[in-house]
Amino acid sequence: MTLFDLRIPDAVIDVTVWVLVLFGALLCLTAAIGLLRFRDVPTRLHAATKPQVLGLLVICIAIALSQRSVIGIVLGVVLVIPVLLMQFATAPLSAHMVGRQAYRNGTIDRRSLVVDELADSTETPPAAGG
C-alpha cells in the first residue's frame, strides 16, 4: 500500500469541504455587502477584488479536497490551479483599468483622498485610451 492508495476518512473530508464552502459563500456575501455600502468606485473595487478572490481560492481548495483519495486530491489541485492563476492575473488588471477610468471620469470623492499623485499630470498620457 503506497501513499497514493491512502484514503482519508470520509467524515473528515465531508466536514472540511462543508466548512470551506460555507466560508467561501460568506466571503461572497461580504463582497456583495461591501459593494452595496461603500460610497464610490475605488472603494467598491476593494470589495470587488479582495474577498471575491479569497472566496474563489477557498472554494477551489474545497473542490480539490472533495476528491477523497490522495491521488485524487493531487489531480484536483492540478486541475484548479489554472482557474486560480487566471483569476489572480485578471482581477488586478480589471481593477486597475476601472480605477484609473474612475479617476479620470470624476466619479470619485476627491475630498476623501489623502494623497493625490495623479493631480500633477493634467494631460492624458499617450496611448492611455481615455
Partner 1 sequence: MNPLLLVIMIVFGIAAILTVVRIAIGPSILDRAVASDVLLTEVICVLGAEMAINHHTRTLPVLLIVAAVGVFGSISVARYVARRDNTTP
Q: Which three cell numbers stand for residue 31?
A: 463582497
Interface characters, 11-30, with partner 1 (x: CB under 8 A): ------xx-xxx-xxx-xx-
Structure letter (DSSP) for residue 69: B
6 touching partner 1, by CB under 8 A = no
Interface characters, 28-47, with partner 1 (x: CB under 8 A): xx-xxx-xx----x--xx-x
**Cβ pair 27, 44 in contact under 8 A:** no
Which amino acid makes up residue 62? Answer: A
Please compute Rg for the chain using Cα positions: 21
Q: Could you tell me which of 58, 56, 126, 44 has the C-alpha nearest to residue 90?
A: 56
Piece in contact with partner 1 (CB under 8 A), picked from 1-9, 81-89, 109-117:
81-89
Structure letter (DSSP) for residue 4: G
Q: Could you tell me which of 29, 23, 45, 26 has the C-alpha nearest to residue 92?
A: 45
The CB-of-1 to partner 1 minimum distance in angstroms stands at 23
Question: Which residues in this chain contact partner 1 in the complex, by CB under 8 A?
Answer: 17-18, 20-22, 24-26, 28-29, 31-33, 35-36, 41, 44-45, 47-48, 52-53, 55-56, 59-60, 62-63, 65-68, 76, 79-80, 82-83, 86-87, 90-91, 93-94, 97-98, 100-102, 104-107, 122, 124, 129-130
